[in-house]
Protein backbone atom coordinates (compact mmCIF):
# COMPACT_ATOMS: atom_id res chain seq x y z
CA UNK A 1 0.00 0.00 0.00
CA UNK A 2 1.49 3.31 -0.94
CA UNK A 3 1.09 6.78 0.47
CA UNK A 4 -0.96 8.04 -2.50
CA UNK A 5 -3.58 5.34 -2.02
CA UNK A 6 -3.87 6.11 1.69
CA UNK A 7 -4.19 9.81 0.92
CA UNK A 8 -7.04 9.14 -1.53
CA UNK A 9 -8.87 7.02 1.06
CA UNK A 10 -8.44 9.66 3.72
CA UNK A 11 -9.72 12.36 1.32
CA UNK A 12 -12.81 10.26 0.59
CA UNK A 13 -13.43 9.71 4.29
CA UNK A 14 -13.06 13.43 4.97
CA UNK A 15 -15.49 14.40 2.23
CA UNK A 16 -18.07 11.85 3.39
CA UNK A 17 -17.80 13.17 6.97
CA UNK A 18 -18.37 16.72 5.71
CA UNK A 19 -21.40 15.53 3.73
CA UNK A 20 -22.86 13.70 6.76
CA UNK A 21 -22.38 16.74 8.98
CA UNK A 22 -24.26 18.89 6.45
CA UNK A 23 -27.07 16.33 6.32
CA UNK A 24 -27.24 16.25 10.12
CA UNK A 25 -27.31 20.04 10.31
CA UNK A 26 -30.14 20.28 7.78
CA UNK A 27 -32.04 17.55 9.65
CA UNK A 28 -31.70 19.42 12.93
CA UNK A 29 -32.89 22.62 11.26
CA UNK A 30 -35.90 20.79 9.82
CA UNK A 31 -36.87 19.33 13.19
CA UNK A 32 -36.46 22.71 14.88
CA UNK A 33 -38.60 24.51 12.29
CA UNK A 34 -41.32 21.82 12.52
CA UNK A 35 -41.32 22.10 16.32
CA UNK A 36 -41.61 25.88 16.16
CA UNK A 37 -44.46 25.72 13.62
CA UNK A 38 -46.38 22.93 15.40
CA UNK A 39 -46.10 23.48 19.17
CA UNK A 40 -48.84 20.95 20.05
CA UNK A 41 -47.06 18.17 18.19
CA UNK A 42 -43.77 19.10 19.86
CA UNK A 43 -45.47 19.05 23.27
CA UNK A 44 -46.95 15.63 22.53
CA UNK A 45 -43.55 14.25 21.57
CA UNK A 46 -41.92 15.63 24.71
CA UNK A 47 -44.68 14.28 26.97
CA UNK A 48 -44.67 10.90 25.24
CA UNK A 49 -40.92 10.64 25.65
CA UNK A 50 -41.25 11.57 29.33
CA UNK A 51 -43.93 8.94 29.94
CA UNK A 52 -41.86 6.28 28.17
CA UNK A 53 -38.79 7.21 30.21
CA UNK A 54 -40.81 7.05 33.44
CA UNK A 55 -42.15 3.60 32.57
CA UNK A 56 -38.67 2.33 31.76
CA UNK A 57 -37.36 3.77 35.02
CA UNK A 58 -40.13 2.05 36.98
CA UNK A 59 -39.49 -1.25 35.24
CA UNK A 60 -35.78 -1.07 36.07
CA UNK A 61 -36.41 0.11 39.63
CA UNK A 62 -38.95 -2.56 40.48
CA UNK A 63 -37.35 -5.31 38.47
CA UNK A 64 -38.49 -6.85 35.27
CA UNK A 65 -41.55 -9.02 34.89
CA UNK A 66 -39.37 -12.13 34.65
CA UNK A 67 -37.56 -11.30 37.91
CA UNK A 68 -40.84 -10.62 39.75
CA UNK A 69 -42.35 -13.87 38.45
CA UNK A 70 -39.28 -15.83 39.54
CA UNK A 71 -39.40 -14.23 42.99
CA UNK A 72 -43.10 -15.03 43.36
CA UNK A 73 -42.63 -18.64 42.29
CA UNK A 74 -39.84 -19.09 44.83
CA UNK A 75 -42.10 -17.70 47.54
CA UNK A 76 -44.97 -19.99 46.55
CA UNK A 77 -42.83 -23.10 46.26
CA UNK A 78 -41.14 -22.56 49.61
CA UNK A 79 -42.36 -25.11 52.16
CA UNK A 80 -44.89 -23.73 54.58
CA UNK A 81 -43.82 -23.37 58.18
CA UNK A 82 -45.40 -25.87 60.46
CA UNK A 83 -47.29 -24.43 63.38
CA UNK A 84 -46.53 -25.97 66.67
CA UNK A 85 -49.55 -26.43 68.89
CA UNK A 86 -49.23 -26.00 72.57
CA UNK A 87 -50.25 -28.87 74.78
CA UNK A 88 -52.80 -27.70 77.30
List pLDDT tens digits, range 20-45: 778 788 888 888 888 889 989 889 99
Q: What's the chain's average pLDDT?
A: 79
The dihedral of CA 50, 55, 58, 59: what is its sign? negative
DSSP states of 18-41 as a string? HHHHHHHHHHHHHHHHHHHH-HHH
* pLDDT at position 82: 61
Q: What is the pTM of this model?
A: 0.43
Within 8 A by CB and 6+ apart from 35, the residues are 41, 42
* pLDDT at position 37: 92
Residue 47 has pLDDT above 80, yes or no: yes
Query: Percent of the chain scored above 90 by pLDDT?
Result: 15
Amino acid sequence: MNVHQLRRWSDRAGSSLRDSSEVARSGINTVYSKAMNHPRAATAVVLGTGVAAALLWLANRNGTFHAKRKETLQRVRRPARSRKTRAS
